[in-house]
């Protein structure tokens, strides 16, 4: 079983290093890295979710062995658009999708908000997940903030049609501090033609860092069951 991960805004392959090690042999793990991020820092940033999904499709698909997709925060939005492209091109579909730290898709572009460096810095502090020594380092922030701004703008302007698109089972995983369980479960279920599972993890938006063991266990348990069913 292969698990393909899609990072959050300003995230890189390194962002998933600890999680991948905890998943271990439960699956072959790969992380898509957006142009302008991480090892692809020299490439131009992409300005829309559609471009991100198309780039991922070009780099990593089609996949012929059984696979799952995992999108974390903005990566979940990219996952939705990628799945739409997979359907459109009649590519093999994932057997399961994991939507992590993500609210239900919006039905219209988000209203304009302050995108100044200071506003973005405050948002990063509020979400957590970025080490204080990085937030307090002007050189790091000079590099990070343009990447974060481009990703946030792309996510903010993406609209997913309110229709059933997923033809597989799914797991929605959220941090308890961000939880609106009843709304999220019912809204996400409308996008699937099969039942979904809803999991809570202690912590906030970046439970991937706060509770990696719990997060990894949810993934491993699901992956093992999928391997048992598909073998």
Distance CA 154, CA 74 (A): 9
Task: Say what the pLDDT of residue 109 is.
Answer: 67
The pLDDT value recorded for residue 179 is 67
Which pLDDT score is estimated for 182? Answer: 62
Confidence category of residue 130, pLDDT binned at 50, 70, 90 = confident
Number of domains in the chain: 1
Over the stretch 38-61, which tens digit does the pLDDT of each residue have? Answer: 999 999 999 999 999 999 999 999
Place of tokens 């993890």: 201
Q: How far apart are CA 62 and CA 111, in angstroms?
A: 35
Strand partners, 201: 175
Q: Per-residue pLDDT for 180 more than 80?
A: no
pLDDT mean over 210-228: 93
Give whole-number Cα distances, 203 to 121, 127, 174, 179, in Å: 21, 11, 9, 10
Dihedral sign computed on CA atoms, order 52, 56, 187, 128: negative
- For residue 30, pLDDT beyond 70: yes
More confident residue, 127 or 75: 75
Per-residue pLDDT at 89: 94
Map the chain to HEC letters: CEEEEECCCCCCHHHHHHHHHHHHHHCEEEECCCCCCHHHCCCCCCCCHHHHHHHHHHHHCCCCCCEEEEEECHHHHHHHHHHHHHHHCCCCCCCEEEEECCCCCCCCCCCCCCCCHHHHHHHHHHHCCCCHHHHCCHHHHHHHHHHHHHHHHHHHCCCCCCCCCECCEEEEEEEHHHCCHHHHHHHHHCCECCCEEEEEECCCCCHHHHCHHHHHHHHHHHHHHHHHHHC
Q: What percent of the chain has a predicted confidence (pLDDT) above 90?
A: 65
Among the ranges given (67-76, 108-117, 186-195), the one the predictor scored with the smallest mean pLDDT: 108-117
Q: Which of 145-159, 161-175, 216-230 has the lowest mean pLDDT?
A: 161-175
pLDDT digits (tens, 9 = 90+) for 89-122: 999 999 999 999 988 776 666 666 778 888 888 8
Residue 169 has pLDDT above 80, yes or no: yes
- CATH number, domain at 208? 3.40.50.1820
Instruction: State which residues form the domain around 58.
Output: 2-230
Please state, in angstroms and rounded to a whole number, the distance separating the CA atoms of residues 125 and 145.
12
Residues 92 and 230: their CA atoms lie apart, in Å, by 14
Vertex 129: Cα angle to 128 and 133 (nearest 5): 90
Predicted pLDDT of residue 73: 94
């Amino acid at each position: 079983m292969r698990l393909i991960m899609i990072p959050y805004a300003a995230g890189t392959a390194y962002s998933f290093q600890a999680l991948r090690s905890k998943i271990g042999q439960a699956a072959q793990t790969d992380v898509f890295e957006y142009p302008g991020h991480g090892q692809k820092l020299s490439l131009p940033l992409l300005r829309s979710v559609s471009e991100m999904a198309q780039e991922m499709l070009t780099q990593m698909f089609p996949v012929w062995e059984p696979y799952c997709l995992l999108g974390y925060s903005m990566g979940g939005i990219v996952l939705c658009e990628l799945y739409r492209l997979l359907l459109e091109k009649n590519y093999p579909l994932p057997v399961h999708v994991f939507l992590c730290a993500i609210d239900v898709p919006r039905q219209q572009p988000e209203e304009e908000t302050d995108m100044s460096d200071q506003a973005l810095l405050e948002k990063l502090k509020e979400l957590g997940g970025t080490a204080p020594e990085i937030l307090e380092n002007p050189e790091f922030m000079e590099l990070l903030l343009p990447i974060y701004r481009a990703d946030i703008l792309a996510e903010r302007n993406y609209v997913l049609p309110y229709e059933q698109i997923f033809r597989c089972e799914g797991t929605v995983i959220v941090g308890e501090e961000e939880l609106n369980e009843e709304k999220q479960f019912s809204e996400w279920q409308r996008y699937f033609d099969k039942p979904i599972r809803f999991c809570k993890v202690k912590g906030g938006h970046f439970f991937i860092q706060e509770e990696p063991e719990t997060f990894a266990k949810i993934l491993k348990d699901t992956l093992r069951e999928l391997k048992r069913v598909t073998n």
